[in-house]
């Protein structure tokens, strides 16, 4: 996500007009006459960056957790209006619940922290050093239980006051996700690795299956009388009612795939979150009808690409929970490939070659990879695990892949053999994030943004030698080449878009006061959710907004 590293030296931002459009300096480049850019919306934003766990507060609101946006929200159940209860960086919640005294508790998947907001509005860390902290629930007697998932596989009992360290109950569990306690004080929850719902005695750790045959059950919740369970199946897009004690199943509603969690109100209305569609829907279990509560069009737009020969300037969008194709001119979403129900791995960056789309993700905990897709059909051709995380990724003319590892500071090559062989092109970079190729030059090279050092660096492909093109930037992330030869960079630390002349390093502000740059968070590599930049053949510049989950374009004035 767009961050402003403390390692970057303090700089005074250059003087820019307060509007989103800015006049470029006539000294920018002899090849690039000054232009005025008009800011336009391609796809409007959303209050969430993927919505996950939820809890009904009994006061007409729904608490909703927003992991990547690092916030806990309150949603009005009548109007769907969304407000922020806890903002970044402390609000990075994967799941949320209410304690007996009205305190709000949530889990920080990346930070590994269990958080509490007391009724007086104060926020406290009550447990830490639990990477992959995921789900939580209270038992009737006030005991609190939490799980690690992905970066761990453990069920813990936590002290709601934070005075005692967590106590391990069971490990491994089999990836226990969103769980609840029944009237019998047994834990009921989905075991992802087995596709089943189990009942557990938390005092002994003994588990037994309640219902089976799910594709990917991600969460359960009891109805208002705590007699039957509702289950969301993310891969099938189903809300299923499990009748206890026999465990018979009934599909209540068919929804889009990507379901993450659910909450049941006192009137038995079921609130279902979908992280792919970044929305919350309400299901009436009496008749299976579905209505929207909070809607969105994108989830977490980050990396962008556009084919230089495309007159329609169709955008390829790495939307973290989906890969989408969006009309650059009309904002129409033309194609969506979803995580969980396909083999897609949480795309954060995207690039294009003549025949392929290359997607990469810096997600740690088993999901980090580079994936190669056929541009024409969208078929997934190749998945290469990248244990160090992958930021920018390019396919070079000879078919090899070039990967930026922000966490190690390396650029690595991955050949097109099976199994793939990896070699280091260069190392010692400070948070490499964005890549753009210059393979037609006399000495083919790649330009790299270094989010930690504030540099744009040119790396020669033949031997890995480096040359600083521009410095004194703040957290540069996305980068693209303009048809006039200039480099367009999202300078996230100053919330602006700049053009850099690759020959002179001259930097020109094109737009400022942009809604980019979520604050950095513990446990995340540099530039975790990158601000994407792409340039169409018309010279229109496209930028993703992590803060607003939106897409913008900057159109050059005639």
DSSP class per residue in 285-296: TTTTEEEEEE--
Q: Taking the CA atoms of the chain, what radius of gyration do you get in angstroms?
A: 24
DSSP 184: T
> What pLDDT does 441 receive?
86
Which H helix or E strand runs over 324? strand 322-327
User: What pLDDT score was predicted for residue 281?
Assistant: 98
* Per-residue pLDDT, 19: 31
* Residue 50: per-residue pLDDT: 93
d(CA 242, CA 220): 10
- CA angle, corner 382, sides to 541 and 411, nearest 5? 60
Q: What is the pLDDT of residues 276-306, one digit of tens each?
A: 999 999 999 999 999 999 999 999 999 999 9
Rounded CA gap, 307 and 547, in Å?
Answer: 26
Report residue 439's pLDDT band, with 50, 70 and 90 as the boundaries.
Answer: confident
DSSP string, 16-35: --SSS--BPPTTSBTTB---
Name which of 261, 258, 253 is nearest 289 in CA terms: 253
Mean predicted confidence (pLDDT) in 163-192: 95
493 SS3 class: helix
Structure confidence at residue 23 as a pLDDT band (50, 70, 90): very low
Q: To the nearest whole number, what is the mean pLDDT of the chain?
A: 91
pLDDT exceeds 50 at position 30:
no
Q: Are 116 and 104 in contact (CB under 8 A)?
A: yes
| Extended strands (E) in 471-532 | 476-481, 487-491, 496-500, 507-511
Q: Is the peptide bond before 285 cis (omega within 30 degrees of 0)?
A: no
Higher pLDDT, 19 or 344: 344
Residue with tokens 């190729």: 437
Structure confidence at residue 402 (pLDDT): 97
What does the alpha-carbon distance between residue 533 and residue 392 come to, in Å, rounded to a whole number? 12
Instruction: Sheet with 206-211: list strands edge to edge.
Output: 180-181, 187-191, 196-201, 206-211
Asked whether the CA dihedral 13, 17, 19, 25 is positive or negative, the reply is: negative
pLDDT digits (tens, 9 = 90+) for 47-67: 999 999 999 999 999 999 999
Going 163 to 165 to 170 to 175, the CA torsion angle's sign is positive
Q: Which domains does the chain have, with CATH numbers?
A: 54-294 (2.120.10.30), 298-492+512-546 (2.120.10.30)
Is the pLDDT at 28 greater than 80? The verdict is no
Can you tell me the mean pLDDT for 254-258? 96
Average pLDDT over residues 88-112: 93
On the question of pLDDT at 329 being above 60, the answer is yes
Q: What is the pLDDT of residue 428?
A: 97
pLDDT > 70 in the chain, percent: 93
* Predicted local confidence at residue 16, as pLDDT: 32
pLDDT tens digits for range 108-161: 998 899 999 999 999 999 999 999 999 999 999 999 999 999 888 999 999 999
pLDDT of residue 12 exceeding 90, the answer is no
Instruction: Express each pLDDT in 520-550 by its tens digit.
Output: 776 677 788 999 999 999 999 999 999 999 9
**What pLDDT does 18 receive?**
29
Query: pTM of the predicted model, to two decimals?
Result: 0.90
* Rounded distance between C-alpha atoms, residue 176 and residue 197, angstroms: 9
Residue linked to tokens 């379901």: 259
Q: What average pLDDT does range 13-30 have in this prediction?
A: 34
Which H, E and C letters describe 397-441, residue by residue?
Answer: CCCCEEEEECCCCEEEEECCCCCCCEEEEECCCCCEEEEEEECCC
Instruction: Look at residue 2 and tell me whether its pLDDT is greater than 90.
Output: no
Sheet holding 333-338, edge to edge: 304-306, 314-318, 322-327, 333-338
424, pLDDT greater than 80:
yes
* 375-385 confidence digits (pLDDT tens): 999 999 999 99
Q: Is residue 3 predicted with pLDDT exceeding 70?
A: no
* pLDDT score recorded for residue 364: 59
Buried (b) or exposed (e) across 512-527, using 16+ Cβ within 10 A? bebbbbbebbebbbbb
């Amino acid at each position: 996500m767009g961050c402003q590293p403390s390692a970057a030296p303090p700089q005074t931002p250059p003087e820019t007009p307060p509007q989103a459009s800015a006049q470029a300096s006539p000294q920018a480049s002899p090849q690039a006459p000054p232009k005025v850019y008009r800011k336009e919306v391609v796809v409007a934003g959303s209050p969430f960056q993927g919505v996950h766990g939820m809890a009904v507060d009994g006061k007409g609101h729904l608490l909703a957790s927003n992991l990547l946006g690092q916030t806990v929200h309150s949603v009005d159940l009548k109007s769907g209006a969304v407000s922020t209860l806890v903002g970044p960086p402390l609000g990075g919640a994967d799941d949320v619940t209410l304690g007996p005294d009205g305190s709000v508790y949530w889990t920080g998947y990346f930070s590994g922290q269990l958080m509490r907001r007391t009724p007086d509005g104060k926020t406290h860390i009550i447990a830490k050093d639990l990477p992959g902290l995921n789900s939580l629930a209270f038992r009737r007697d006030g005991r609190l239980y939490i799980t690690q998932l992905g970066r761990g596989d453990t069920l813990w009992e936590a002290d709601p006051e934070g005075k005692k360290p967590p106590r391990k109950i069971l490990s491994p569990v089999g990836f226990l996700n969103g769980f609840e306690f029944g009237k019998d004080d047994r834990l009921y929850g989905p075991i992802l690795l087995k596709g089943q719902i189990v009942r557990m005695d938390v005092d002994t750790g003994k588990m037994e299956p309640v219902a089976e045959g799910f594709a990917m059950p991600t969460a359960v919740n009891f109805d208002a009388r705590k007699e039957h369970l509702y289950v969301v199946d993310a891969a099938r897009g189903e809300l299923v009612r499990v009748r206890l004690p026999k465990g018979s199943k009934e599909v209540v509603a068919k929804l889009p795939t990507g379901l993450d969690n659910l909450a049941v109100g006192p009137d038995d209305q079921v609130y279902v979150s979908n992280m792919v569609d970044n929305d919350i829907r309400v299901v009436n279990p009496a008749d299976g009808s579905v209505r929207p509560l909070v809607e969105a069009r994108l989830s977490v737009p980050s990396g962008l690409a556009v084919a230089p020969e495309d007159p329609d300037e169709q955008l390829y969008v790495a939307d973290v929970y989906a890969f989408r194709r969006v009309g650059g001119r009309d904002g129409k979403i033309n194609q969506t490939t979803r995580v969980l129900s396909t083999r897609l791995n949480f795309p954060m960056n995207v690039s294009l070659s003549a025949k392929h789309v290359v997607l990469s993700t810096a997600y740690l905990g088993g999901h980090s990879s580079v994936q190669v897709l056929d541009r024409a059909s969208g078929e997934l051709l190749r998945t290469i695990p990248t244990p160090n995380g992958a930021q920018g990724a390019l396919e070079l003319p000879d078919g090899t892949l070039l990967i930026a590892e922000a966490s190690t500071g390396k650029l690595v090559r991955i050949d097109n053999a099976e199994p793939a062989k990896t070699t280091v092109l260069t190392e010692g970079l400070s948070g490499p994030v964005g890549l753009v190729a210059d393979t037609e030059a006399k000495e083919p090279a790649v330009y790299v943004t270094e989010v930690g050092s504030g540099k744009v660096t040119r790396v020669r492909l033949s031997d890995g030698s480096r040359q600083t093109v521009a410095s004194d930037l703040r957290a540069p992330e996305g980068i693209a080449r303009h048809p006039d030869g200039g480099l367009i960079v999202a300078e996230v630390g100053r919330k602006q878009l700049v053009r850099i002349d690759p020959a002179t390093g001259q930097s020109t502000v094109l737009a400022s006061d942009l809604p980019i740059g979520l604050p950095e968070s513990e446990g995340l590599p540099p530039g975790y959710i990158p601000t994407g930049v792409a340039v169409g053949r018309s010279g229109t510049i496209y930028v993703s907004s992590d803060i607003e989950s939106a897409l913008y374009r900057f159109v050059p004035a005639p």
